[in-house]
């Protein structure tokens, strides 16, 4: 090993990046990645599958999911490699996927994926609306994580009833309520010209859930113990701002901006994820208000995240926030970088960095971390459904222990990723590095969409940026 310092001129990088994206479509086939990521979400579907189901090894499942009074809670996405529906990360994934679709709709159009994308986000949106069973009641989880993780089987083979958990005025959850409102509000924007009646329905539900969430000023995981071991919430301030901003974007009502600004958290953001929306809040605040204090928050965030900042980097240049699902954090933050670039904040620099993080996952590390894509992709993801043989064959722990590849290819799934030294083994039993999840793919897919076409369009019009001409990037190879 030796130290290699990467120094390049921003103008040169801009020209090369423009050439790659506009003329060649980029270093990797981003259109293929988009297509396969959408297929991953189709493989995560719960409930009665549509007649046009494209995943031949998946079938109807969890058709008896109900609330305490028999409410229909079928549908939605299974969370990860398990068979539980956790609404907090599901709603965030829906918001982020829809955000990318709204921002870079032409990427989906040009790659022939727009209709598939509408169908993709409609699946969880329909489910999330079902979960709003009363004005002051919202179901937030179906399935017991302990029981589910104590077995290894596909959704189609599940037997018995599944518990459902809700928040209400006595057991609140502003965080999951605001995220659900954000998802529905984003959906109403996306469907406004596609299906105005559906858009109106989404917005009506979003307003109702938003008002309910404002009354429940506490953490949902304190109310729903079943969620605490898996998706424990640590703060509601970011969700209060996040929900308000999406309501503004959907309605144009400026009172939502004032509400969001009350919950502004200045400075560098830790990152962007299902439980940490500060970077997203500051991004939307700057987009909407153009107030430079929010721009400074973004600059501070990327000063912290880029080489020479607060985060360590792997030898092959992955920004390494946490060991568990490392790739999701870099991909999610790359999404904020592209959104900031679209608003003229250090566009050449931020695009270059975002692209480097996505390309790491696609092959720059020497292998792909996306199932069914690129060089030496994972073939043994920690994922029950794809590891089980077709019915009527049985499936149990022997399928998890099987040393061979999963019998079904889980196209498009981004695995957790490497350790801090780029170390990785394609091991189904390793849920830290080789599990997949709806939230892993959300920021990743939207960032890929931002690299298909529109990124170059903005770069062509960039004349000023707030960075030195040379960017010094130290990295070990």
pLDDT per residue, tens digit, the chain (477 aa), is 323 333 323 333 333 333 333 333 468 999 999 999 999 999 999 999 999 999 999 999 999 999 999 999 999 999 999 999 999 999 999 999 999 999 999 999 999 999 999 999 999 999 999 999 999 999 999 999 999 999 999 999 998 789 999 999 999 999 999 999 999 999 999 999 999 999 999 999 999 999 999 998 899 999 999 999 999 999 999 999 999 999 999 999 999 999 999 999 999 999 999 999 999 999 999 999 999 999 999 999 999 999 999 999 999 999 999 999 999 999 999 999 999 999 999 999 999 999 999 999 999 999 999 999 999 999 999 999 999 999 999 999 999 999 999 999 999 999 999 999 999 999 999 999 999 999 999 999 999 999 987 444 444 343 333 333 333 344 432
The verdict on whether 239 is a catalytic residue reads no
Residues, the chain: 477
Cα gap 345→337, rounded to integer Å: 9
Of 182, 202, 217, residue with least CA distance to 92: 182
Instruction: Name the active-site residue from 42, 297, 422, 435.
Output: 435
Q: Which two tokens stand for residue 132?
A: 């709003």
In order of start, what are the domains of the chain with their CATH numbers?
30-452 (1.50.10.10)
pTM, two decimal places: 0.91
Active site residue 297: no
* 248 close to 288: Cβ distance less than 8 angstroms: yes
The answer to whether 144 and 162 have CB atoms below 8 angstroms apart is yes
φ, ψ dihedrals at 447, nearest 5°: -70, -40
Q: Catalytic one among 426, 427, 430, 439?
A: 426
């Amino acid at each position: 090993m030796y130290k290699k310092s990467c120094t390049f001129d921003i103008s040169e990088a801009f020209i090369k990046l423009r050439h790659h994206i506009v003329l060649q479509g980029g270093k990797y086939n981003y259109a293929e990645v988009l297509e396969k990521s959408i297929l991953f979400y189709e493989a995560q579907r719960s409930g009665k599958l549509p007649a046009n189901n494209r995943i031949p090894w998946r079938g109807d499942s969890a058709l008896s999911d109900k609330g305490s009074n028999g409410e229909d809670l079928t549908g939605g996405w299974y969370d990860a490699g398990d068979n539980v529906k956790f609404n907090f990360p599901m709603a965030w994934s829906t918001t982020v996927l829809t955000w990318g679709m709204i921002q870079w709709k032409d990427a989906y159009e040009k790659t022939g994926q727009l209709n598939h994308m509408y169908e993709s986000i409609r699946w969880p949106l329909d489910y999330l609306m079902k979960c709003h069973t009363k004005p002051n009641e919202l179901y937030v989880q179906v399935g017991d994580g302990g029981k589910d993780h104590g077995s290894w089987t596909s959704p189609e083979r599940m037997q018995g009833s599944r518990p459902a958990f809700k928040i209400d005025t006595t057991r609140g959850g502003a965080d999951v309520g605001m995220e659900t409102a954000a998802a529905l509000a984003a959906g109403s924007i996306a469907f406004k010209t596609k299906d105005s009646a559906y858009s109106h329905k989404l917005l009506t539900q979003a307003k109702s859930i938003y008002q309910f969430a404002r009354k429940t000023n506490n953490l949902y995981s304190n109310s729903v113990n079943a969620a605490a071991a898996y998706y424990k919430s640590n703060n509601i301030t970011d969700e209060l701002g996040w929900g308000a901003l999406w309501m503004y974007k959907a309605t144009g009502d400026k009172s939502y901006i004032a509400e969001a600004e009350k919950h502004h958290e200045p400075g560098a953001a830790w990152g962007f994820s299902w439980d940490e929306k500060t970077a997203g809040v500051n991004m939307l605040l700057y987009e909407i208000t153009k107030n430079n204090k929010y721009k400074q928050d973004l600059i501070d965030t990327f000063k912290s995240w880029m080489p020479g900042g607060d985060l360590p980097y792997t030898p092959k240049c992955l920004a390494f926030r946490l060991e568990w699902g490392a790739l999701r954090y870099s991909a999610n933050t790359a999404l904020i970088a592209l959104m900031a670039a679209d608003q003229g904040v250090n566009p050449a620099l931020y695009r270059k960095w975002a692209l480097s993080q996505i390309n790491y996952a696609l092959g720059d590390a020497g292998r792909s971390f996306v199932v069914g894509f690129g060089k030496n992709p994972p073939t043994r993801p920690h994922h029950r459904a794809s590891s089980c043989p077709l019915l009527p064959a049985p499936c149990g722990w022997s399928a998890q222990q099987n040393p061979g590849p999963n019998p079904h290819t889980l196209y498009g799934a981004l695995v957790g990723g490497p350790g801090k030294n780029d170390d990785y083994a394609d091991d189904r039993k390793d849920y830290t590095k080789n599990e997949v999840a709806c939230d892993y793919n959300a920021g990743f897919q939207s960032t890929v969409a931002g690299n298909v076409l529109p990124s170059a369009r903005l770069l062509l019009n960039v004349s000023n940026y707030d960075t030195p001409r040379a960017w010094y990037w130290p990295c070990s190879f």
